[in-house]
Amino acid sequence: MHYGSPRLRRDAKQELGEITNHFSILIANLIKSRYQDAKELQKKLSQAEERAAATQIKYEMLLEQNRNAESSRQALEAKQQELDGILAALQRTLA
C-alpha cells in the first residue's frame, strides 16, 4: 500500500500491515511469474532457432546431393550418347 491516512494507520494498524504484506507478496509473485514466463519463452525461442539451423543444414546437404545427382545424370547421358554413336557406327560398318 502506497498511502495510508494517519487515522487509518492509527485505528487499523494491524490490518494495514496485513494489507501491505499481502500487496507486497502479490507484486513479488507477479514479477516472479513474469520473469519465469520470459525465461520459458527464451528457452522455446532458443530451441526453435536450433531446429531451424539444423533444418537449414539438412536442406543444404540435400541441395548438394541433388546437384551431385544432376551432375551424374548429365555425365551418364553423355556416355549414353557416346555409346549410341559407337553402336550406330558399328551397325553401319556391319551393314
pLDDT (tens digit per residue) in 30-68: 999 999 999 999 999 999 999 999 999 999 999 999 999
Cell triple for 46: 532458443
Which residue pairs from 28-37 have beta carbons closer than 8 angstroms and sit at least 24 positions apart in sequence?
A: none
Cell triple for 71: 551432375
pTM: 0.55
Residues 6 or more apart whose CB falls under 8 angstroms from that of 8 comprise 16
pLDDT at 51: 97
Report domain extents, the chain: 6-94
